[in-house]
Chains A and B, each alone.
Chain A
Amino acid sequence: MKKLLCTFLGLSLSLSLVFAGGNDPSLKEGFTQGNPQIQSINSLAFGPEGILFMGDSQKGEIIALDTQDEKAGQAPESISLKRVDVLMASLLGLQADEITIQDMAVNPLSQMIYFAVQTPEGAPVLLRTAGKTFEVFDLEDVSYSKISLEKAIAADAKDRRGRPLRKWAISDLAYKNGKVYVSGLSNEEFSSTFRSISFPFTEKQNYAALEIYHAAHGRYETYAPIKTFLPYTMAGKEYLVASYTCTPLVIFPIDQLKNGELNRGKTVAELGNRNTPLDIISYTKEGKEYLLMANSSRSLMKIDPEKVSNFQDFLTQPVSESSATAGVEFIALPYVLVQQMDNFTDEKVLLLQRMANGDLNLHTPNIRRL
């Protein structure tokens, strides 16, 4: 069956390549060539066709970059790189403690790994793997398309000079089925800003600004910014699985989110005290899907999405033990201090992990071990 599917996929790919020469249905059709004048890169996410989405909080823009990195087989089957911060910083004439790694994303077509890195002066740098080290992806003359979040928030309140009152720090970015999803934190008001933007970007956009409430033990209703999220299909329905800065894991059906209304998400778990969620991905092991979460001060958490979608009630039982967690159960995997995480191949996940000796290493554990 698998073989049949591969043949079918191969055939469709060849056909699409044949037809690509004529009316190019590429998502990159409206891209322009030049310097996108990026001021910061806070978040990375890959779309199809080697398109890398980058969130620029300083300028309030989302940039879709054509990496021209669409060929499979460019990268090794597994990665094991030690002291990657030294390797990266030295490229920039800096020392390891002078750079900040803002985000990491794997190109699903080539398995090349991209990093958003910041210099002490705040200059953004895009790096990617090159053999056993890294190279700078020069952004001076590239093919790109971008959209301003300032436009996206045009409907919001403005200050007296007509500038939007909301300034975002983009906390996460994802692409799924023609939509770019963006979550943002404000450096002034405590609010949740979540938007979906159609891609390819057009002038006419539906920028839903959503305020999503969640409940604690059925008694308290609260409101907080989303730190990281994953658009995810459960039982044929599109959900957003979102982890909040105050740790609850909340799900909501994407099609039910409405602008200007009180949106309530379903709290399905609490992920523990003194912890910040970092990344959520999904993976398939022995035919079954799992969610995997990386956290600032907890080990990797493996969650069964079936239990999430079947979870009926808001949390009702108080949590009493220190750092206790509640709701949908999860399995703690023995990977601590994971800084960044992404899917690498069907068999492997990619972890950027601070090791016990203080080294920052990049490696690709097999999902059999997860």
Chain B
Amino acid sequence: MILYRFSTGAAQPWLRFFFLGLIIVAWGVVCPAQVSLVWQKGALQAENLPLSFTDSLSQDAIEPGQFLKLFRLDASRSLSPGQNAIWGSYQVHAESFAFYPKFKLRPGAWYRALWIYRADTLAYDFQLAPEANSLPPPVAALSPQLDTLPANLLKIYLHFSQPMAEGQAYQKVELLDENGKVLGLPFVPLQPELWDAPHQRLTLWLDPGRIKRGLGPNQASGSPLKTGKRYTFRVRADWKDQKGQLMGQPYEHTFWVGPVDRLSPQPKAWEIESPQSKSQEPLRIRLGERLDAALLQKCFQVYTAQGDEVPGSVIPVPSQDQWAFLPDRPWPPASYEIRIQAILEDLAGNNLNRLFDRDLQENPKPPQNQTHYSLYFVVK
């Protein structure tokens, strides 16, 4: 239990000595008036208040920051100039006064509580316990995880083992050439960053202005990836997850760059492997090229001739050149339709309706406007 009282709000250096090595969940500080400050159960409590004080307070009349203030301290355990007190709500009890921060405080961080009543100021610095059940450091993985990618590759997905903090992505991903030189801005720094809902998958676009023929960035700097060259995609180790935990280890994936892909996926050219009647074999479609992993998961539906959807699940195929579907029940002998949504893209952003960029002289065919394309198969 450490006692001190001061009026300037700044701890004297010798007092800090007492804090070293201590992880404190709840420290009480007692002032001569017997008021004590304690952090417990997500609230900062000023306790042992005289009834005459609490009785005089009206819950609605308390101004934010009146009597009790809570501040986050920086790495050197001091306050920044102009720093605001943390926002939250107040509750008056019989002999105590409680402050509830609106947002969860950071485990392991230091805070300063201030009790201000008339001429009395009471300060209390405390550290929140680091989270007991911390997850291991986050780990990243790239998709497509392929050895060769097209020169006009448009987007990549970064998968993480746990939810990541937003706002750091474009400082933490790098593309290196074969000499290990970090390339300048190959990705579009999009605001907002394109995360999925759980914040575990980030979509990155290679700069479309540099990939699209005819645009200024393409003419000035060319496409970020050159056919025949080798590149390394790197995720830096100093990326934090939502709990502030660093990755600790970098992630790298090296790949070769193949030719450009300027053809839309052609469902008519795909090969369907029909399953055996009454079996529960997966339905497989050989796509003849690699398509976008996320869209492969959701752009296909299988229907009976009566128009009922066949229930089942898509089996992820890491090579991304097949679509595989496991039905919930064995296949009855019948004719089936596979409906493929037109938004399905290849790795270069060409979808079933249109190309990513179209040369009007070489390819006068305008984009299609279909919602989906259909293929048919029979289970015998």
Is B217 an interface residue, CB under 8 A from the partner?
A: yes
Q: Is the CB of A273 within 8 A of B209?
A: yes
Over the window 81-125 of chain B, the binary record of Cβ atoms lying under 8 Å from chain A Cβ atoms (1 yes, 0 no) is 111111100000000000001111110010100000000000000
Is A187 an interface residue, CB under 8 A from the partner?
A: yes
Using a Cβ–Cβ cut-off of 8 Å, how many residues does chain A contribute to the interface with B? 81
Given contacts A136-B102, A222-B358, A273-B221, contact A248 B72 (CB under 8 A): no
Stretch of A4-12, A72-80, A316-324 contacting B (4+ beta carbons < 8 Å): A316-324
Q: Is the CB of A90 within 8 A of B83?
A: yes
Within 8 A of A (CB), among B264-316: 292, 294-295, 298-299, 301, 309, 311
Report how far A189 CA is from B209 CA in the complex, Å.
16
Given contacts A91-B84, A220-B214, contact A119 B103 (CB under 8 A): yes
Q: Is the CB of A188 within 8 A of B294?
A: yes
Is B361 an interface residue, CB under 8 A from the partner?
A: yes
Within 8 A of B (CB), among A64-87: 82-83, 86-87
Q: Is the CB of B165 within 8 A of A91?
A: no
Closest chain B CB from A191 CB (angstroms): 7
Chain B at the A interface: SS class: loop
Q: Is the CB of A270 within 8 A of B194?
A: no
Q: Which of chain A's residues has its CB closest to B369's CB? A: A260
Q: Is the CB of A276 within 8 A of B189?
A: yes
Chain B interface residue bracket vs A: 35 or more
Within 8 A of B (CB), among A243-282: 245-248, 260-262, 270, 272-274, 276, 278
Over the window 130-171 of chain B, the binary record of Cβ atoms lying under 8 Å from chain A Cβ atoms (1 yes, 0 no) is 000000000000000000000000110000000101110000
Closest chain B CB from A222 CB (angstroms): 4
Q: Is the CB of B195 within 8 A of A120?
A: no
Is A287 an interface residue, CB under 8 A from the partner?
A: no
Is A157 an interface residue, CB under 8 A from the partner?
A: yes
A276 partner, pick from B106, B188, B216, beta carbons under 8 A:
B188
Within 8 A of A (CB), among B173-198: 184-185, 188-192, 194-197
Is A366 an interface residue, CB under 8 A from the partner?
A: no
Over the window 319-356 of chain B, the binary record of Cβ atoms lying under 8 Å from chain A Cβ atoms (1 yes, 0 no) is 00000000000000000000001110100010100101
Chain A residues with CB below 8 A from B244, complex form: 98, 120
Is A299 an interface residue, CB under 8 A from the partner?
A: no
Q: Is the CB of A245 within 8 A of B154?
A: no
Q: Is the CB of B71 within 8 A of A216?
A: no
Q: Is the CB of B219 within 8 A of A246?
A: no
Q: Is the CB of A92 within 8 A of B86?
A: yes
Closest chain A CB from B187 CB (angstroms): 10
Is A118 an interface residue, CB under 8 A from the partner?
A: yes
Chain B residues with CB below 8 A from A156, complex form: 371
Chain B residues with CB below 8 A from A92, complex form: 86-87, 102-103
Chain A residues with CB below 8 A from B167, complex form: 99-100, 118
Chain A residues with CB below 8 A from B210, complex form: 273
Q: Which of chain A's residues has its CB closest to B221's CB? A: A273
Is A63 an interface residue, CB under 8 A from the partner?
A: no
Report how far A227 CA is from B192 CA in the complex, Å.
10
Q: Is the CB of A223 within 8 A of B354?
A: yes
B221 partner, pick from A83, A95, A120, A274, beta carbons under 8 A:
A274
Report how far A227 CA is from B203 CA in the complex, Å.
16
Given contacts A248-B215, A260-B369, contact A190 B154 (CB under 8 A): yes
Over the window 175-192 of chain A, the binary record of Cβ atoms lying under 8 Å from chain B Cβ atoms (1 yes, 0 no) is 000000000010111110
Q: Among the interface residues A83, A99, A247, A320, which one has the most CB atoms of the partner chain B within 10 A?
A: A247
A191 partner, pick from B86, B195, B343, beta carbons under 8 A:
B343
Report how far A165 CA is from B344 CA in the complex, Å.
11
Is A296 an interface residue, CB under 8 A from the partner?
A: yes
Extra 11 A-B pairs, beta carbons < 8 Å, given A189-B292, A323-B216: A92-B103, A120-B244, A125-B103, A160-B301, A160-B309, A189-B345, A190-B208, A221-B360, A262-B369, A273-B220, A320-B219
Q: A-contacting residues of B (Cβ < 8 Å)?
A: 70-72, 74, 80-87, 101-106, 109, 111, 154-155, 163, 165-167, 184-185, 188-192, 194-197, 199, 201, 203, 205, 207-210, 212-217, 219-221, 240, 242-244, 292, 294-295, 298-299, 301, 309, 311, 341-343, 345, 349, 351, 354, 356-361, 366-367, 369, 371-372
6 A–B contacts, CB within 8 A, in A order:
A102-B191, A120-B240, A157-B342, A165-B299, A169-B192, A276-B190
